[in-house]
């Protein structure tokens, strides 16, 4: 047993020595690797430091590099300088990550002097570029004059202005705006601010979409105004009825159609409403019909009342002989008959309301003169002996006087004239559908 103890002890000593040797070997092998990595980080640190020192605002920024990770520290005046330092460090080859620990300088006088220096530098740049700025302003001014000159002397617009003043003004403004826009682009290119144009055009789509939703009604009225000016359903001075509004056309603007009512009121209707509403143009056909009614007593001859009324209407100044005045029995009651008289005028020469009023007065006067009066509102009973069985002279007169019942061809000429002057394809015309 005593001989076995030294053997165990020697075995433990051998294991400890082996572990010590192995540790020393690993340490020896790692030293060359550490010696190789240290110069790379030092090189990065020096390279970044040189780049930061080249920027006057970043001279107080320090950089440390370890394993490709760069840590920036120090103080700067504003946040933009922190970003510049990060970009400089990230742009160096071999940098894997940049940790920006730069803080803002809390010293107020230092920051104030920095802001003052920046303003001074901008003023200097502005003074240096002042000649170019003056040339750019001159280019824009020349473009504005040239746009007005071109838009005012285009032969196409001159022809259009005689038929459509609204579209004439719109196209002139478009031409002038395009010329001015070209001058602005040239001026910005001269100043080296073409990137600003790209930014503006890039944001124009988003801005246009937002404005489209915000000003939907304005855009709808504007487009409707353009379509109305192209179609031209009315002209200044025409008497029209739009929806339930009646008056004379004054003007068509980019947003509204302006009317003057019979009461002298200025009425502005949105162009979208005008475009979508049922529109009646009373002036497009100069001939217009008026009518009125009166009640004739049963004891009077209705045939005679119709003849007298027609002659009275025909004699009124302004009533046309073609189409000729007519009369109809509208209704019959126990007390009498309702007579309706019709007459036509030329609206270019006579007023409809005044002519109708005079026709009513003359018919009333002529009927009373002939002893034809309305039924009395007071009922009375009269005992009259007649030889025939209740057939009076007026009834006999009615029986033997038939009146015209042929088709009314009064509007045939007007329909033909309207069809002749109407431009575009008429979908109701069989020849146009072929």
pLDDT tens for 54-112 read 777 777 777 787 777 888 887 777 777 778 888 887 878 777 788 877 777 666 676 66
Closest Cα to residue 372, out of 276, 269, 302, 271?
A: 302
Q: Are 89 and 95 in contact (CB under 8 A)?
A: yes
Range with the poorest average pLDDT among 50-54, 88-92, 211-215, 342-346: 211-215
Q: Answer whether residue 320 shows pLDDT above 80.
A: yes
Tell me the per-residue pLDDT of 388-406, one tens digit each, with 9 for 90 and over.
544 455 555 554 555 554 5
The closest alpha carbon to 164, from 225, 227, 232, belongs to: 232
Q: Is the pLDDT of residue 424 over 60?
A: no
More confident residue, 411 or 2: 411
| Residue 144: pLDDT over 90 | no
The residue that leads in pLDDT, 319 or 207, is 319
Position 420 scores a pLDDT of 56
How does DSSP classify residue 56? G
pLDDT in tens, 288-297: 899 999 999 8
Average of pLDDT values for 228-251? Answer: 86
Please tell me what DSSP assigns to residue 61: -
- CB contact at 8 A, 240 and 246: yes
**pLDDT of the residue at 239:** 86
Say which range, 133-147, 195-209, 370-384, 416-430, has the weakest mean pLDDT: 416-430
Parallel, antiparallel, or unpaired: how do β-strands 69-73 and 62-66 relate? antiparallel
State whether residue 310 is helix, strand or coil.
Answer: helix
| 18-46 burial: b if 16+ Cβ within 10 Å, else e | eeeeeeeeeeeeeeeeeeeeeeebeebbe
Domains detected in the chain: 27-104 (3.30.1340.30), 131-214 (no CATH), 220-281 (2.30.30.60), 287-414 (3.30.70.100)
Q: Which residue has the higher pLDDT, 307 or 175?
A: 307
pLDDT higher for 50 or 381? 50
Burial class for 296, CB neighbours closer than 10 Å (0-12, 13-18, 19+): buried
Of the candidates 245, 147, 225, 140, the residue with the CA atom closest to the CA atom of residue 187: 140
CA 320/CA 324 separation, integer angstroms? 6
pLDDT of residue 362: 93
Instruction: Please give the distance of CA 101 from its chain centroid, rounded to a whole number.
Output: 52
Task: List the 279-281 sheet strands across, edge first.
Answer: 266-270, 256-260, 245-252, 239-242, 279-281
* 246 compared with 205, residue with greater pLDDT: 246
- Residue whose C-alpha is closest to residue 316's, from 324, 327, 328, 305: 324
Overall pTM > 0.85: no
């Amino acid at each position: 047993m005593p001989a076995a103890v030294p053997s165990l002890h020697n075995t433990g000593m051998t294991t400890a020595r082996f572990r010590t040797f192995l540790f020393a070997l690993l340490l020896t092998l790692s030293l060359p690797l550490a010696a190789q990595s240290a110069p790379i980080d030092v090189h990065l640190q020096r390279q970044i430091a040189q780049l930061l020192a080249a920027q006057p605002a970043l001279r107080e920024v320090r950089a440390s590099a370890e394993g490709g990770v760069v840590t920036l520290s120090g103080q700067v005046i504003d946040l933009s300088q922190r970003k510049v330092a990060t970009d400089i460090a990230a742009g160096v080859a071999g940098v894997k990550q940049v940790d920006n620990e730069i803080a803002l300088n809390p010293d107020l006088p230092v920051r104030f002097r920095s802001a003052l220096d920046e303003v001074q530098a901008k003023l200097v740049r502005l003074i240096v570029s002042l000649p170019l700025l003056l040339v750019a302003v001159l280019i824009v001014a020349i473009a504005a004059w040239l746009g007005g000159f071109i838009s005012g002397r285009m032969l196409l617009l001159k022809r259009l202005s005689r038929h459509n003043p609204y579209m004439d003004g719109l196209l002139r403004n478009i031409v002038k705006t395009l010329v001015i826009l070209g001058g602005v682009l040239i001026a910005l290119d001269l100043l080296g601010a073409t990137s600003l144009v790209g930014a503006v055009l890039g944001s124009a789509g988003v801005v246009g979409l937002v404005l489209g939703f915000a000003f939907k009604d304005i855009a709808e009225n504007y487009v409707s105004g353009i379509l109305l000016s192209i179609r031209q359903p009315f002209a200044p001075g025409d008497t029209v009825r739009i929806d339930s509004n009646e008056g004379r056309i004054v003007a068509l603007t980019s947003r509204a159609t302006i009317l003057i009512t019979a009461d002298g009121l200025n009425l502005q209707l949105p162009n979208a409403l005008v475009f979508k509403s049922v529109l009646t143009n009373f002036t497009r056909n100069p001939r217009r019909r008026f009518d009125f009614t009166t009640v004739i007593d049963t004891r009077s001859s209705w045939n005679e009342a119709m003849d007298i009324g027609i002659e009275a209407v025909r004699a009124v100044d302004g009533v046309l002989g073609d189409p000729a005045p007519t009369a109809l029995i509208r209704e019959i009651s126990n007390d009498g008959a309702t007579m309706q008289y019709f007459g036509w005028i030329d609206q270019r020469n006579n007023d409809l309301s005044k002519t109708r009023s005079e026709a009513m007065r003359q018919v009333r006067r002529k009927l009373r003169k002939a002893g034809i009066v309305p039924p009395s509102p007071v009922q009375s009973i009269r005992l009259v002996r007649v030889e025939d069985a209740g057939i009076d002279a007026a009834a006999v007169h009615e029986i033997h006087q038939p009146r015209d019942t042929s088709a009314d061809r009064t509007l045939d000429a007007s329909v033909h004239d309207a069809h002749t002057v109407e431009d575009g394809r008429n979908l109701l015309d069989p020849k146009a559908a072929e």
